[in-house]
Amino acid sequence: MDEDQSEETTFVVDEITTIIKETVETTNGNNSYQHEKINQWMSSIAEISLSQLTKLGKPFKYIVTCIILQKNGAGLHTASSCFWDNTTDGSCTVRWENKTIYCIVSVFGLAI
């Protein structure tokens, strides 16, 4: 019973990585970078990710950050720093790319 409780209240990285990967692939697919459509893609990635995460039914607050970068030879770095409870909270980052875009999605889960 203790294991079930701990499953419920800890951030499981693998499960969430899988969800996010599927979301990004279904949303972006093989699209090329189009400036007009980027807004729409990002909103749908974030929204679908969040709805999938809430379906897990865990007592967590989620923050989903999405970065879309056009492939142009330029460099990008991202870092995060968090002030939380290490035992219950966690984060995961998913990197996805196709021929013209890089997509980085970070999910932070904070236990209530």
Partner 1 sequence: MCLLTDCFTMSNQPLPLSQETLAQFNRSQSTEPGPPGPPRRRLASISTRRSSKDHSKDHPHPRPLFLRAMTGPSSESSFMSPSVSTSHMSMGKRFSFAGWHQGGRVSFSGLYLQQPIQEVYVENTYRTGPEPSCRFSARRTQQILQATLDAYLEGVCYSADSCSQLCQMLADLVLSKLKDVNPPRYKLVCQVVVGQSGDHGVRVASQSLINPNTDNYTSAVFQNHSLFAVAVVHGVYFE
What torsion, rounded to 10 degrees, do the Cα atoms 75, 97, 92, 38 define?
A: 80
Q: For the window 53-92, what string marks contact with partner 1 as x by the rule CB under 8 A? A: xx------xxxxxxxxxxxxxxxxxxxxxxxxx---x-x-
Which of 14, 26, 28, 31 is CA-nearest to residue 94?
A: 14
Residues 13-52 that bind partner 1 (CB under 8 A): 33, 35, 38-39, 42-43, 46-47, 49-50
CB of 6 to partner 1, least distance (A): 18
Angle at which helices 13-28 and 35-55 cross, to 10°:
150
Q: Could you list the residues that contact partner 1 (CB under 8 A)?
A: 33, 35, 38-39, 42-43, 46-47, 49-50, 53-54, 61-85, 89, 91, 106, 108, 110-112
